[in-house]
Structure 1
Amino acid sequence: MEMDHIYGNVCEDKTESYRASQATLKATTKVQIPLLIIGAILLLGVAVLGTLTYKYASKLSDEQKKFALMDAQYKNISAVLNNTDAQYKDLLATYNISSGKLSDEQKKFALMDAQYKDISAVLNNTDAKYKDLLATYKICSTECSCRACPEGWKHHKGKCYLFSSSKMNWEGSRDHCITLGGHLIIVNNQEEQNFLAAQAKGVSHWIGLNDRAVEGQWRWVDNISLNETGAIFWYKRSDPNQADEPDNWKKEDPLGENCASIYLTADWHDNSCKTNYPFVCETLASS
């Protein structure tokens, strides 16, 4: 009878130990599964957003640097997430499954869960900035049509513009633009004139307008007359005793002033074609 009593106590101890172990394992699993799901969702989100970043960045021109920076931010977030995931796995590996230590380990899991939530918040914030950037530059919209410009050229309304840093006379400027696959700028409307003035920043630049063939008959480099385009922005002087532009001033050049530039005032002046100015080339943006 004494042996039966001892055997019974041993069975009860083993049964209670087994039940405690199973309860601890279930509690651990309940904590573990949600965090693993959070990690998987965040990793998937980073992967998807990284794919979107690459897809759109490959179609850009002037905005490539901005999108490259955004892509780097995503990669940094992914690295932080991977590091946190590694810490989580280490914690699981060293986790002591016992009911007595479960409350202490729960605190560690709570801290890990908070880290995941912080990363998720950063990811969501970066995603919002990325979407704002897409909206700002209207990626692949009907307005920009994903058109690209050569490096150093500025995109505007389906065209590319090069504001030179070097100076040449009017003929040299015209020929140089041709070698680059474009031509000296032809101003077609007020909106384009405003863009030209803003980019010239108060510095005189040659434009593609001249009356070298016949004095007073101003034509663009495509041989279209100024009157046909109807966009005319000659400088008008406030002093009635002084002539407005073009005035064909001959004191510096006996041949007169037969080539046009955008001047300091953001209006047009005629100048001697021999003068060296920066210049503006234009061409259609490539699709």
Structure 2
Amino acid sequence: MADKDIYENMEVMEAAPQPKGNPPKIPAPWRPRARGIVTAVLLLLSLALATSLLAVTLLYLRAQIKLQGVEEAVQKLQVSLQPDNASDASAKGSDSLQLLDEAQAGVRMLKAQLGNVSAARTAVQDGCSDMLTKLPRGWRFYGGNFYYFSQEKKSWDEAERLCVSQDSHLTSVSSQAEQEFLSNETQGKGRWIGLTNRGTEGSWRWVDGTEYRADASRGFWAPNVPNNYDCVHTEPSKRNLWNDNKCTRHFRWICKQAHGPAGL
């Protein structure tokens, strides 16, 4: 009896019920590893962009030096061609004047090339800045463009305003490859894109200014649409093809900041 009294006031600890089916998965420590991979990729990307910027800068400096040398030579030629008297002018003749014209044309060509190099240098600098600021914030780079896939839902107009606030627009789709990229990245979520026919029913346009081509885009629409609505989103139940809908509906969205030529 004494032994029995000992256990009367003790709680009986029952084993936790085990879920049926597959055993619980132990989460793998992937986050630190993923962060390390992202950091390494960004470092390599930064190095590549810095190398490109250095190469373009050196090209720019060499072009400047060459232009300066040619301009000095042209100035000397102009001085040498100044006639001291009428007979001297006749002696120097039209051949020398033609040489001067050719030299001046060369100067103009070098200036144009220098302008192109300067534009390329600016583009590389802008690319470095965009890469280093956008990629860590969740933007993705594809085909010369940056894309942002939202996690929250907004109306079409609210989504476009948020894209504009980030120097972008709701995405246009300018090729089959781009359509497939967006479809693969949507993760089964309907998302607003930048196609609308507001203002003129049936006349579709991209808000980023990309030309809308009906024939080339026909295969991107879901069956039996559009249906007289003004804004377009991807429809996951229909292989992420396009579906028109009320602009006030709330969907996730895709922003696009274009850095390459658009067009199908």
TM range (shorter): 0.3 to 0.5
TM-score (norm 1): 0.44
